[in-house]
Structure 1
Amino acid sequence: MAPVRVRDAIVIPDEELTWRFSRSGGPGGQHVNTTDSRVELSFDVSASSVLGAAERERIRTHLGERLNDGVLTIVAAEHRSQLRNRRAAMARLARTLDEALRPPPPPRRPTKPSRAARARRVEHKKQRGRTKRLRGRPDDG
């Protein structure tokens, strides 16, 4: 197939990808029983020549539970065609690596509500209390 483009700077060559094919489960009748349309795409993150040390570490941190001995495996079996499953697996690999390589968001700076916001909140609570009090049973008194 073609190389997988994760970003403009990162293109995984076909030599670093390992493909496995097997029979897919689910609906499809006899077709499912005769074709190897399920696709497993494996990418060895730890041995990749395309990734730098920082990128490798970021992927390991972000996808640690999905890596098996440094290898990321993507499975695609949603289509009846092996070719479409191969394309789906490549797209999913690119998306997964792109998300893993994104820098973490900046830390949130803790803030406090303003005095006016606190006053609005208290006033709203008082108004709700008055509304609920009016719903009560009138006194016989």
Structure 2
Amino acid sequence: MTVADAPDQGPDATYFAYLAAKDWRIPKCRGCGAYVFQPRIMCPACGGEAFDWVAPSGAGTVHSTTVVRRRPADGGDYNVALVDLAEGVRIMSRVEGVDPMAVRIGMPVSARLADQDGDTIVVFDPAGGDGR
């Protein structure tokens, strides 16, 4: 499926079609200008049903985080984080490039696209490179 085909499949399909094309986009309401995430068919701010798909800045702040414990043989520990994007929406992902225990609430992060098992996903790295 291409991005052009996805609108007939719904907003989630459109989101994942952009990611598959290595292009991260989120909906922005044409009526009120609110960014929307998770993608949906109606704007939660104004009820509008028309959206433009725009590239977010990628700048964010960790809202919440937890560490998932795994044996080293299974890949080791990783974090799951809720990140508040500069656009005003929240996304669940993970912060990479730093020990999972070092991820902190309020930490500035920057998004990047990564490959996971053949799919493109959005992950975050500490902004500024030092994790603070």
Say whether the fold is shared (TM-score over 0.5).
Answer: no
Higher helix share: 1
Q: If the length of structure 2 is used for normalisation, what is the TM-score?
A: 0.24
TM-score normalised to structure 1 length: 0.23
